[in-house]
Amino acid sequence: MEHTISSPVRCTGIGLHSGKPVELVLRPASAGTGILFVRRDLGRPVRFPARPEWVVDTTMATTLGSGEWRLSTVEHLLAALRGMGIDNCTAEVSGPELPVMDGSAAPFVYLIREAGIRAQRRMRRRRVFRHPVEVRDGNRWVRVIPSREFKLSVAIDYPHPAIGHHAIQSFCLTPEGFARQVAPARTFGFLRDVQRLQSVGLALGGSLQNAVVLDDRRVLNRDGLRFPDEFVRHKLLDLLGDLALLGTPIQGHVKAMRSGHALHQALVAEIRANPSCWTLETPGAVTEPVGQELPGRAPELKPARA
């Protein structure tokens, strides 16, 4: 069955680039709607369906466009909605970017749980892969291969003493596993890049409160990392959010090496261009996925309720 949230819920945070307050309101949506973003700060509502054809930029974040208007940093909320099994939801935003919150998807998971989750009468369809689909850019690649369930394998390799090489193999998604093991992983960046961006009026909301920040040798956050492999967990989170733009859950094993938003959207485009590699199916029965569970716990987070 498809699912939506049971009641409206809201939070307020700051935009990563503007540094200004942004309000986000999640509302239930009827079956078959999908995920719909709406900007409410422009005099009239401007809608941004969470679909691949609405993606206009993948620099540093995934950005949707509607005419002259933009809405950026949608991937963390999309990951939370997909990870918690939400098919239909309207997300109203009071600015050009979603609130960055703590740099992870955990605050959005908290919002979804506060709102409650409600089953709908429409059956959920899955995109079942029969043949592999892959995109490459040098030594960076991402692919999806046939599998009996949805699995994610992600690897990163940074020439930095605090990051290095980390990999997650065959992580099978469940709402509880996502909420505890993936959602709390924060975005990360380098101090020199933050300073450069702020010098040209970008990343004005970026701080140690909403990102893992590194200098040339170490992590600068006083409390350190939430997980020893928090960097690769966040890459998995980004991948899940970007794949949510397909509009339907995947039955297949997605593998990624050194990937990013641009490569994720290239894979989405390649999937759409090769319908002979997959079929849309409605499973006759729901089975519990099995696979690797990642160690760790999610922190307590308490955004405001509508």
Is 297 domain-assigned? no
pLDDT value at position 302? 36
Residue 71, C-beta contacts closer than 8 angstroms, at least 6 positions apart: 37, 39, 48, 63, 64, 65, 93, 96, 97, 98
Question: Is 253 a catalytic site residue?
Answer: no
pLDDT value at position 91? 98
Residue (of 238, 225, 234) closest to 162 by Cα position: 225
pLDDT value at position 196? 85
Q: Which amino acid is at 102?
A: D
pLDDT value at position 233? 97
Residue 235's pLDDT band (boundaries 50, 70, 90)?
Answer: very high
pLDDT value at position 293? 39
Q: Find the DSSP H helices in 147-187.
A: 175-181
Q: Do residues 277 and 160 lie in contact, with contact meaning Cβ atoms separated by under 8 Å?
A: no
Name the pTM for this structure.
0.91
Burial letters for 68-87: b for 16+ Cβ neighbours within 10 Å, e otherwise? eebbbbbbbbbbbbbbbbbb
Give the end of a domain, one of 78, 97, 119: 119
DSSP state of 200: T
Residue 117's pLDDT band (boundaries 50, 70, 90)?
Answer: very high
Same structural domain, 21 and 94: yes
Residue (of 11, 23, 57, 52) closest to 261 by Cα position: 57
Range of the domain at 101: 3-119
Looking at every residue in the chain, the average pLDDT score rounds to 91
Is 42 domain-assigned? yes
The residue from 17, 234, 261, 264 that is catalytic is 261
CATH code at 56? 3.30.230.20
Residue 284's pLDDT band (boundaries 50, 70, 90)?
Answer: low
Give the end of a domain, one of 103, 119, 135: 119
Q: Count the domains in the chain.
A: 2
Same structural domain, 147 and 163: yes
Rounded mean pLDDT, 29-36 = 97
Residue 261's pLDDT band (boundaries 50, 70, 90)?
Answer: very high
Q: How far apart are CA 166 and CA 193, in angstroms?
A: 22
Q: How far apart are CA 30 and CA 120, in angstroms?
A: 8
Sort strands 250-251 and 126-129 into parallel, antiparallel or unpaired.
parallel
Same structural domain, 10 and 39: yes
CATH code at 268? 3.30.1700.10
Residue 16's pLDDT band (boundaries 50, 70, 90)?
Answer: confident
